[in-house]
Amino acid sequence: MKKISEKSIFFGSYSFFLSMAAVIAAVAVIVSSPVVRMTKEETAYLADSEAQVSAPYPKIIIDAGHGGEDGGAKAADGTLEKDINLNIAKYVYTLLNALGCDCVMTRDSDVMLSDGEARSRKLRDLKNRVAFTDGGDCVFISIHQNKFPQKSCSGTQVYYSKNDTRSEKLAAVIRENTQAYLQKNNTRQIKRAGSEIFVLDRCTVPAVLVECGFLSNPAELELLKTEEYQKKLGCTIALSVVDFIADGSNKN
Ligand SMILES: [Zn+2]
């Protein structure tokens, strides 16, 4: 089965390399147009794609890692991981929302997801993120940035939860699209997360954590700080979710 994003009349050949605004405008025009002239092929495509992505669609939980007093990793120039995470997460949300997906962000501002006693605050924050998946029928995507003592390390790394076999498929789609459209030389393979990644250890729905890039790599840090690259990462993740759902991979 072809991926929806490859044959979609909406996105053509991954038009997400246009600006996010252009993609959203294109979707808006198509959706709101009273008369959409379609060729036979396009009509057949729509009928086909409706079958592929038959409802009910899963809810998409978009988790911007860290927040508030928890800045996450810190770059040499003081850039905090939590801020880049939130920007990318917002792009993922905006695009999926424009495409009609039911999605929610665990945080949409610079906050921690818990208060109270400092000793257990971080653990409660993580538990509250996982709690968004209560009730099932959803997909959990956590967005983070990496840091390593060796400055040469670079590239997106995707981890998946061991608790649901569909997690590995979702991670593979994100990795494949990232390599194809953003990082041709990225040879990092997807990794099964252990107990060290709390949210993936506890989620029982399809769940992945995307370490988008390394704040410790000076060249990658400069890229990660730009709006353009953040949008590209956000679009790649969002359209990977579309691929995942369109393939029927989200179904048990
Ligand atoms: Zn992190």
Sheet holding 59-64, edge to edge: 103-105, 59-64, 138-146, 207-214, 157-160, 191-192
Of the chain, the percentage scoring pLDDT greater than 90 comes to 69
CA of 209 to the centre of ligand 1 (A): 9
**28 C-alpha vs ligand 1 centroid, how far in Å?**
34
Q: Does residue 128 lie within any of the structural domains?
A: yes
Please choose, from the candidates 73, 81, 63, 188, the residue with its C-alpha nearest in 3D space to the C-alpha of residue 131.
Answer: 63
Q: What does the pLDDT look like over 186-216, one tens digit per residue?
A: 999 999 999 999 999 999 999 999 999 999 9
Q: Are 168 and 192 in contact (CB under 8 A)?
A: yes
Mean pLDDT for 220-246 is 95
N-term to C-term CA, the chain: 17
Q: How far is the CA of 66 from the centre of ligand 1 (A)?
A: 6
Q: CA-CA distance, 239 to 188, in Å (whole number)?
A: 20
Q: Give distance in angstroms: CA of 201 to centre of ligand 1.
A: 15
Helix (H) or strand (E) holding 81: helix 81-98
* 221 within domain boundaries: yes
Helix (H) or strand (E) holding 140: strand 138-146
Residue 183 vs residue 24, higher pLDDT:
183
CATH code of the domain in which 200 resides: 3.40.630.40
Residue 73 alpha carbon to ligand 1 centre in Å: 6
Distance 141 CA to ligand 1 centre (A): 13
In this predicted model, what pLDDT tens digit does every residue of 115-154 receive, in sequence order? Answer: 878 889 999 999 999 999 999 999 999 999 999 999 999 9
- Token pair belonging to 7: 């044959």
Q: Within 10 A of 27 (CB to CB), how many other CB atoms are there? A: 16
Distance, CA 33 to ligand 1 centroid (Å)? 42
Q: Report CA(86)–ligand 1 centroid distance (Å).
A: 11
Number of domains the chain is built from: 1
| Model pLDDT, residue 249 | 75
The 8-class DSSP code of residue 149 comes to S
Note if the bond before 149 is cis, omega within 30 degrees: no
Centre of ligand 1 to C-alpha 191, Å, is 16
Would 186 be classed as within a structural domain? Answer: yes
Higher pLDDT, 34 or 224: 224
Res. 3: pLDDT tops 70:
no
**Looking at residue 16, what DSSP letter applies?**
G
30 alpha carbon – ligand 1 mean position (Å): 37
Ligand 1 centre and the CA of 154: distance in Å?
15
Look up the domain containing 204 and give its range: 57-246
- Cis peptide upstream of residue 34 (ω within 30 degrees of 0): no
Q: Is residue 39 part of a domain?
A: no
Instruction: Dig out the tokens for 194 from the structure.
Output: 């252990």
Write down the pTM of the prediction: 0.81
Burial letters for 32-53: b for 16+ Cβ neighbours within 10 Å, e otherwise?
eeeeeeeeeeeeebeeebeeeb
Distance 145 CA to ligand 1 centre (A): 6
Q: Does any domain span residue 195?
A: yes
Would 68 be classed as within a structural domain? yes
Does any domain span residue 21?
Answer: no
Q: Is residue 5 part of a domain?
A: no
Using the mean position of ligand 1's atoms as its centre, give its distance from the Cα of residue 81 in Å: 7
